[in-house]
Structures are given as C-alpha cells and as structure tokens.
Structure 1
C-alpha cells in the first residue's frame, strides 16, 4: 500500500483476523487511520488513528454510524476489509432455520455489500481495495458448514461482480486457510461431531450402488433414465 494518507475500514475487528489486521495497520502505517467495527468492544491499543464503532454490522443504525464517521474523518478511503462473519448453524443443511438463514445472509453477504455501496465512490477516487474475507467452505459442501459456505460462495460471486463493474477498485476474495480463531474452534467441534458418527461400509456400498444406476440430468434438473 502507498504512503497516501487515508482510512482503512475493518469489520469483525474485536477478535481473530480482523483484530490482527487493525493491529498491523496501526503498528506499521503511521499515515493510516483505522475504522474498526465490531459487535463487542475491542482490546485494541489507544491511538489517535483508531476510530471504533461498536454495533451489529447488519443493523441500519450501525451502518449509518459508519457512514457518518467516514464523513467526519474526511479522509480518502483506501481499503475496506469485510471480515465480519458468523457460522450460525453447524447442523445438517436443511436443519438451518429461517431466522438462522436471515442472520447468516445479513452478516456474511448483505452487510458487506452495503458497506461496498457506501464506500465505492471514494474507493474509485483513491484506487483503493475491497478485501472480502471468504472461506474454503465456499468451494464445496462441508458437513455442518454448508449454510455458511453457501453465503461465502455468494460473497465470492459478488467480489467477481465488483471487480468487473468497478475496475478502478481492486476487489479481492481472500481465502485465509485454516487460522486459529474462535470460529475455527467451532469448525473443529462440528467436524468432530460428524466424525463421531461415521457411515458404515454397508451404508457406503448402498450409496455407491444408487449412484451407479444409469441416470442423467437434463437442462431442467429433472432425472431421466439413460438406455
């Protein structure tokens, strides 16, 4: 990143990756301000360049606070790091409740896009960056994380759309891999629960038998037997 003065916005700043990103910017870039947004108060060190907003990123009041704080700072927006996320449900895909779906999508997708919309004009002026923190769960179903992974897959798609439609801004979907965070501990517990109830060899053989039947899928998604 250049030595241009400006502000970096980081959501999910109270712990894990978001917390560390804020620390790194404050420690290594004396010309940058950090707007740290988190549901709970952070333990970030006091700094004249640190500006904190505590609130739910999905709430319109919090979103309005972010917009107001950016206007008050009157600094170029150099980067938006959409890091805030929730797992919400770690059970079977279709056990995810309507309220869980609503919160998953609002946190992992909609809030990020609202912030992109808020910042896009300033990011275009500065030639800044949008960094959407995604997950390997978005690349394919993982037991217990399919609902979460689906929202991250949607965020990946949104990132590609942003890159296409706003070429003045560098939009990146960042896969951090396995990181020792609170969210990772949730993943470990969910994986252990599934590993504790493995399929039997009989179940697996029966499933393979079903898959070996001569079927194909037409363009409408209907199953049709192949002769």
Structure 2
C-alpha cells in the first residue's frame, strides 16, 4: 500500500502517540485527533521533523461536528481514508454503580462508544472503496470485570460488540477490537491518583505495584502492533477481539517491521 491514510484519535500522548509515530515510520500519512491542542500539535511536529506527514484536528470525539471535521479533513487533504483507529477513551467514573452520577455515565459513553460509532459511520464510504480497516482499541476490562469500573468495562464490551456487528454489516472492510494490555499511560496515573478508597484494594495495589516495580510496559510495542494491524490485518480476522501480543499478531508485526 503506497502511503496509506490513517486517522487516529487520542493521539496526543501515550498509546495514541506511539501508534501515530509507528504509522508514520511505516510510511503512512496520519490525521491526528485529541482534545489537547498543544500536545497534539507537538506530536504532529515530531512526525513532520522525522520526514512524515501529519494533519491535526483538535476536538472531542463525542461532538458530531468534530467527527465530521476529522473525516472531511482527511478527504480534503488526501482524498481517501485507508484506516481508522478509534483510540480516544476515558476511564472515569471510577465509582460503584450505586454511586456514579448519570451525567458521568452519559459523558463516558459519548466518548468511548458514540464517538467511535460516529467516526466509523462518517468514514464508511471511503473505507468501503479502499477495503480499509477499523481498529477499535478495547481492553481486557471488557471481559474481566472490576468493581467500580462498570462504565469502562461496559463501554469496551460495547465496542467489542460493535466491532463484531460492523464485520457482519460491512464485508468490504476489516474491523478489529484490540486490547493493548497494561501500559504506562495517563490512565495508569489516574488510577494511582484516584483509585485509592474507590477501587477494591487488591486491584488498586496491583496497579500501584506494577508502577513501583517498573513493570508497566511502554506504549511503543502495543502502538507498533496497532499500526501494523491498521495497515495489514488479514480480512479473515474481521470481527475478532484480540490481544496485541498474541502469537499471530507478533508474527504479523515481525513480518512488516523487519529491517
């Protein structure tokens, strides 16, 4: 594929930034989105300084007009979309079902579920014509429930289901939900900051311990896997929920990143 066009949300830091950089290194031209303007512009600047091509659309994916602008920017600038990576997400509310406020649930689902739906819908015409890919960043929390993470787990479970249905409805594209594992990102910092006394103590201490022992993985390796999947995931995998370091994905990454 010659200079594929890839959109990625939540691209200002962490996994999103790592994925964007990996895509650019593989020759893709990227359209980046996040709420944080300064950080997003800085990521785009680093990609351009390394010889890549990056466009920026700042805004919240829960807003339909931002989703439309993101898709239209890619089409106006490059004429097509080859892949969409729905990475933007939030963890909060960290709260028991009986304690979480309605507005917090509404906000959470707007970002984690409705945003990816809106973006996918807006990109479908181009993705169909390009036999493109939709990569939805999921989580192990979708299948391993944690107390006080009801919103996050439910949103990622919904994203998995949407991925499966998208594969059934859109046979011309490839749709995957990918769990990136536990990585050293802002989400982990948020858990350490706000999880004490809210999360179950054993869960909270597990995450704190991973950080204190230096066992949180860098986002670079999962980011590289997401980039390879966005460009090369086999169509027969469409509809699946996978983990970034499964053997078949590791083999695919090695195949497409070997020097």
TM-score, length-scaled by structure 1: 0.79
Given the alignment, which residue of 8, 11, 20 partners 2:9? 11
Q: Point out where structure 1 has 5 or more consecutive residues left out of the alignment.
A: 199-227
Cα separation, partners in 2 of 1:90 and 1:151, compared to 1, 3 Å? same
Q: When you count helix as a share of all residues, which structure comes out higher?
A: 2
1:69-128 deviation digits (Å, cap 9, x = unpaired): 123124331110000001121121221211111111100000101110011121111111
Contact between 2:74 and 2:80, CA under 8 Å: does it hold in 1?
no
User: 1:139 is matched with which residue?
Assistant: 143
Number of residues of Structure 1 aligned to a counterpart in Structure 2: 194
SS in 2 for 1:9: strand
Displacement of 1:191: 5.4
Contact between 1:5 and 1:75, CA under 8 Å: does it hold in 2?
no
Contact between 1:127 and 1:169, CA under 8 Å: does it hold in 2?
yes
Given the alignment, which residue of 155, 160, 163 partners 1:159? 163
User: 1:40 is matched with which residue?
Assistant: 36
Cα separation, partners in 2 of 1:187 and 1:74, compared to 1, 3 Å? same
Cα separation, partners in 2 of 1:133 and 1:197, compared to 1, 3 Å? closer
Given the alignment, which residue of 110, 128, 135 partners 2:132? 128
How far apart are the structure 2 equivalents of 1:68 and 1:150? 30
1:179 aligns with 2:186: no
How far apart are the structure 1 equivalents of 2:97 and 2:128? 38
SS in 2 for 1:77: coil
1:63 aligns with 2:67: yes
Q: Point out where structure 2 has 5 or more consecutive residues left out of the alignment.
A: 204-259
Tell me: higher relative CO, structure 1 or 2? Use CA pairs within 8 A at least 6 residues apart.
2
SS in 1 for 2:82: strand
User: 1:72 is matched with which residue?
Assistant: 76
User: 2:216 is matched with which residue?
Assistant: none
Contact between 2:33 and 2:57, CA under 8 Å: does it hold in 1?
yes
How far apart are the structure 1 equivalents of 2:202 and 2:166? 41
TM-score, length-scaled by structure 2: 0.70
How big is the alpha-carbon RMSD for the aligned residues of Structure 1 and Structure 2?
Answer: 1.9
1:106 aligns with 2:110: yes
Cα separation, partners in 2 of 1:197 and 1:156, compared to 1, 3 Å? closer
